[in-house]
Amino acid sequence: MAAENYTGGYSLQLGAWRIQSAFYSIPLRFWLRRSARGNGTARDVAGRNGHNRLQFQSDRAIDLILSSDQTYSRFLTGAVDLLWQGRKAMRFLKRISLPFVLLMGLAACAAPGPLPGATSLEKAYQSSIRGNWGESINASTEAIKIARDEEIFFYSYSSRCEFRIWQGQYDAALEDCNDSIRAMPDFYGDPYAARARIFAVKGQYGWAIEEFDAAIDLGGTRFVPGGNNPRVIAYGGKARVFATSTDQRFRNEEMAVKFAEKAVGLEKGLNTPAYKILNRDTLAAAYAAAGRFDDAVKEQKKTIAMLKDNGWAAVTYNNESLLEILNKHLRQFEERKPLRGGIY
């Protein structure tokens, strides 16, 4: 698969998401504001459901407009949010004339640029498409060093967590996932899906299932620069736990097949080839767990052909090529043996 062109894409995608979120958050924010007046726990309720980021964004609208390094899309989001704040908007517009606000918007439009760290983050994703995990880790580290936007921090830490998992650096990856979640709790499911994979590798299957479920609940957005839907990753992850867990309490062959087939059916939601191959390997493992070894062998041979045809054979997981991993699993299926433990 050829690497997609992300040049400047993250800034535009992030801006588009912010414009959408401004419109979509209007009725929710109205409920939050009304609830907060009559119920002291409204902010807590919003936080538990991941909606506190919308209220936070609204409160920052004035800062977004007056900030000197914001892009046109961020100006629009702040302006739309501001206009829906009623009296607060009117008081602001009385103190700062509308022409001045428009002038700031035009200035931002005239010289838009990527947010600090966005270019490095795009480079990290492009490297991950090719399976260059070391380059991806270095680029995401650079993004973290220069980032000022909370979403850049969120995606940079979350992405570096994923890249480190592919490198087998599980403890360092776990710290990155935790930092991503601390940057924006309950934002999107990306770090939760990655953290679940780490728990599964460590044999903490109960925690892994909980984290995969959190990733499915939170989901993602089509504006994510890496193009990997955390729900699809989580479906494949749950399937692998159900199929290969070393703890029999967590094995469920029927659910393994169901989730694995769903993950493979939704693989258009994945851009990183390594995820596509892992999910297809999981499907074969699920067939083997269900005693359908002929189907497992057939599916694994198709996956190996797909890997070779697309030039992905050199992509590695924990310093072992995916081709070697698939061939090793194929031999087990041919011997009519299910997989137990291993990679997730």
Q: Helix, strand or coil for residue 320? A: strand
The per-residue pLDDT for 152 is 94
- 243's CB contacts (< 8 A; 6+ apart) are 251, 253, 256, 260, 282, 285, 286, 288, 289, 338, 339
**C-beta of residue 214 within 8 angstroms of C-beta of residue 248:** no
The per-residue pLDDT for 149 is 93
Nearest-5° angle of CA 113, CA 118, CA 119? 80
Interval 91-145: pLDDT, tens: 444 444 444 444 455 444 444 578 999 999 999 999 999 999 999 999 999 999 9
Length of the chain, in residues:
344
pLDDT tens digits in sequence order for the chain, 344 residues long: 433 333 344 444 454 444 444 444 444 443 433 343 333 333 233 333 333 334 334 434 433 433 334 444 444 444 444 444 544 445 444 444 444 444 455 444 444 578 999 999 999 999 999 999 999 999 999 999 999 999 999 999 999 999 999 999 999 999 999 999 999 999 999 999 999 999 999 999 999 999 999 999 999 876 565 679 999 999 999 999 999 999 999 999 999 999 999 999 999 999 999 999 999 999 999 999 999 999 999 999 999 999 999 999 999 999 999 999 999 999 999 999 999 999 99
**DSSP designation for 246:** S
Other CB atoms within a 10 A radius of the CB of residue 98 amount to 8
CA distance linking residue 197 with residue 271, whole number of Å: 18
**DSSP designation for 249:** G
CA distance linking residue 95 with residue 120, whole number of Å: 39
- Count Cβ atoms within 10 A of the Cβ of residue 49 and give its class: 0-12 exposed, 13-18 middle, 19 or more buried: exposed
Strands (E) across 107-215 are located at: none
CA distance linking residue 5 with residue 65, whole number of Å: 30
Domains of the chain: 9-110 (no CATH), 116-187 (1.25.40.10), 207-344 (1.25.40.10)
- Scan for tokens 């700031």, then name that residue: 104
Select from 228, 341, 324 the least CA-distant residue to 289: 341
CA distance linking residue 192 with residue 325, whole number of Å: 25
Query: Radius of gyration (Cα) for the chain, nearest Å?
Result: 22
Other CB atoms within a 10 A radius of the CB of residue 212 amount to 30
